[in-house]
Amino acid sequence: MSNNTLWFEGLSDAVGFVGGALLGFWLGRLLGLDIFSDGYSNNAIGGIVLVGLGGGLGLQGVRRWRQAKAASAAKTSESNH
C-alpha cells in the first residue's frame, strides 16, 4: 500500500467516525438526550449510546464506500484492458 492510500484510509475513517458521532449527538439532542448531564441518568446513557452507534455506523459506512469505490475502480481497470 502506498503512503497516500494509507493517509486516505485513515482520514476517511476519522471523518466517518466523527461525522457519525456528531449525527448521533444531534439526534440525541433532538430526542432530549444530553450526554453531558450530571451523573449517569437515562438521558446521559441514551445520548452516549447514540453517539457510539453513530460513530460506529459512520465508520462502517465510510469503509463500505471505500470498498465499493475500489471495486468500481478495479472493474473500470479491467474493462480498459
Amino acid at 4: N
Burial zone of 28 (CB within 10 Å; 0-12 exposed, 13-18 middle, 19+ buried) = buried
The pLDDT score that the predictor gives to residue 77 is 75
pTM here is 0.84
CA distances from 15 to 30, 39, 43, 49, 67 (A): 22, 29, 26, 19, 16
pLDDT at 10 over 90: yes
Q: Report the C-alpha gap between 2 and 15 in whole angstroms.
A: 20
At residue 13, the 3 state secondary structure works out as helix
Predicted local confidence at residue 81, as pLDDT: 64
- Render pLDDT for 40-50 as a digit per residue (tens, 0 to 9): 999 999 999 99
Whether residue 59 contacts residue 30, with contact meaning beta carbons closer than 8 Å, is answered with: no
